[in-house]
Structure 1
Amino acid sequence: MVRVTTTTAADACCTPVGEAAIDAAAAEQLAVRFKALGDPTRVRLLSLIAASDGGEACICDLTEPVGLSQGTVSHHMKILAEAGFVTRDQRGRWAYYAIAPGALDATAASLRAL
């Protein structure tokens, strides 16, 4: 005799996962920000800018503290700008960077919301 067993949803071992708390677009945007912060040099650059007088720093003032060339620092700053962490203001031949208003708070709030 063959025994047939039926399983109901209540008998299942796992509860199906509902909708994600964060949608795909928001997850992508947050991942870009975390990737930007995944490099210790970029974290240091943000810290240097935040600690600078007036809350902004010239690219020429950021190279020596991190021990990298201007081109390499510019590359890191481009990534931080694309992730929304800094704003860039071109003054003559020099670029000045400032922490984007609310960028750090918004990233922290996104992480808390997870």
Structure 2
Amino acid sequence: MSNSVAVELQVLPAQPITPWRPPITSADPQADAEKMAATFKALSDPVRLRLFSKVASHPAGEACVCDIADVDVSRPTVSHHLKKLRETGLLASERRGTKSTATESPDRIRRSGMLHRAQSRSSQ
């Protein structure tokens, strides 16, 4: 037997829906669609999404790779996933002495309009 319980949900008043990402209307919509698809593909991997989230959640939008590498995969695998995020343009990296720093690329994110949180944070 199921222990399901009926719950009454409150109906909210209708509000106009404002899209956070306008449709693709650039001069080259095919190229824009391909770039967006590559970005979605990069973020569709759970490890890459976690790594990107860890970098983006740091106050300055950058983090030492040693601080974000605790995603239950080996170091070489972390490096591989960070490389894929760099190739997509979502992250940039820089070596500082013996440490490597990953930085989110807000310009790429803003241009793609894909991550609303990043857009609103960069406009503050």
Q: TM-score, normalised by structure 2?
A: 0.62
Post-superposition shift, 1:87?
A: 1.0
Instruction: Tell me if the contact between 2:51 and 2:69 (Cα under 8 Å) persists in the aligned partners.
Output: no
Q: Flag structure 1 segments of 5+ consecutive residues without an equivalent.
A: 1-19, 110-114
- The question of 1:48 aligning with 2:54 is answered yes
For 1:61 and 1:69, the matched residues in 2 are separated by 14
Q: Which has the larger radius of gyration?
A: 1
2:104 is the alignment partner of 1:70? no
Q: CA RMSD in A?
A: 2.0
* Structure 1 position 97, deviation (Å): 0.6
Counterpart among 16, 37, 42 of residue 43 in structure 2: 37
Q: Report the alpha carbon displacement of residue 81 of structure 1 after superposing the two structures with TM.
A: 0.7
Q: What is the count of residue pairs matched by the alignment?
A: 89
Distance (Å, rounded) in 1 between the aligned partners of 2:47 and 2:91: 14
Match of 2:120 in 1: none
The 3-state SS of whatever aligns with 1:54 is coil
Residue 94 of structure 1 and its aligned partner are, at CA, apart by 2.2
The higher relative CO (CA closer than 8 Å, separation ≥ 6) is in: 1
The Cα shift of 1:68 comes to 1.6
Question: C-alpha deviations, 1:17-56, integer Å up to 9, x for none?
Answer: xxx9563322222221111011111111111111224321
